[in-house]
Structure 1
Amino acid sequence: MSDDIRWLQRFANYTKALQSLSEAVALAGERPLSKLEQQGIFALIGSRDASRSAFQNGLFTDGEAWMDMIKARNLRSHTYNPKVTDSVNRDILMRFYPAFAALRQRLNSLTQPGFAP
């Protein structure tokens, strides 16, 4: 008799899992894929992954500046050293702001009619 109970428990778990899968499939059918998802990019975890993926997909050309931004953010949030602060501030003005401006220009070009990646 205990085997029958285990079978019923397993079947109940299977039914719940299938219901969850059915809901996910229905949701996927309702929502269009983003451009990145269309290219097979689904799981970007963290700023490093997102920056690498954006670089690989041609959204920006200066990948080193974007990686340095991440390092500077982490460094700056954990230090009160004025020399480090000055260095990060200098990088923001000389390297990071131009990188953000270039990204804006690139993204703006993607909104233009007739764009073909």
Structure 2
Amino acid sequence: MKNEDIRWKQRFSNFSKVMGHLENALQIPEPDMVQKAGIIQFFEMSFELAWNLVKDYLEEQGFVDIRSPRAALKKAFEVNLLENGHDWMDLLQDRNLTAHTYDEQKSTEMKKLIQEKYFPILKNLQINFTRKVDEE
């Protein structure tokens, strides 16, 4: 199997692209409601790709029966693939609430949380996996 064909590397490539979009969206100084919705959507996509990236990587390492985001994150924390396990669980919980972000106040609060707490966590994952790709 060629290096490029490894599933977690493909997932990492997609994760990195979406993270770039999220990073760009977070640079908007005073986002309007539609832009906030876009930020939240990029966050949701980033998280989905992040937990699947972790799952794919763990499966390649021989771990099986990882079927949910919570299971993937817990196992990744156990094997020191992730730091700040509680923050990742907060991220998962808040990600599950983003589907219910209907009003401007909630979207403003979520945008701030993404920018200040969750983007740095996701960015750290991206940096760690960049190293893994470079090591191979």
Task: Calculate the TM-score normalised by the size of structure 2.
Answer: 0.50
In the TM superposition, what is the alpha-carbon distance from 1:40 to its structure 2 partner? Answer: 4.5
Asked if structure 2 preserves the Cα contact closer than 8 Å seen for 1:54 and 1:60, the reply is yes
Asked if structure 1 preserves the Cα contact closer than 8 Å seen for 2:73 and 2:82, the reply is no
Question: Of the two structures, which has the highest relative contact order with CA contacts closer than 8 Å and spacing of 6 or more?
Answer: 2
Which is richer in helix? 2
**How many residues align structurally?**
81
Matched, 1:88 2:102: no
> Which residue is 2:120 aligned to?
98
Deviation sequence 1:19-54 (CA, Å, 0-9, x none): xxxxxxxxxxxxxxx763465520112111111112
Asked if structure 1 preserves the Cα contact closer than 8 Å seen for 2:58 and 2:76, the reply is no
RMSD: 2.3
For 1:65 and 1:91, locate their aligned partners in 2 and report how far apart those are by CA, in whole Å. 12
> Which residue is 1:63 aligned to?
85
Bigger radius of gyration: 1
Structure 2 counterpart of 1:76, one-letter code? T
User: Which ranges of structure 2 fall in alignment gaps of 5 or more residues?
Assistant: 1-55
Any runs of at least 4 consecutive aligned residues in structure 1 with deviations exceeding 3 A, and if so which?
A: 37-40
Task: Calculate the TM-score normalised by the size of structure 1.
Answer: 0.57
In the TM superposition, what is the alpha-carbon distance from 1:74 to its structure 2 partner? Answer: 1.5
Matched, 1:53 2:75: yes
How much identity, in percent, do the aligned residues show?
A: 27
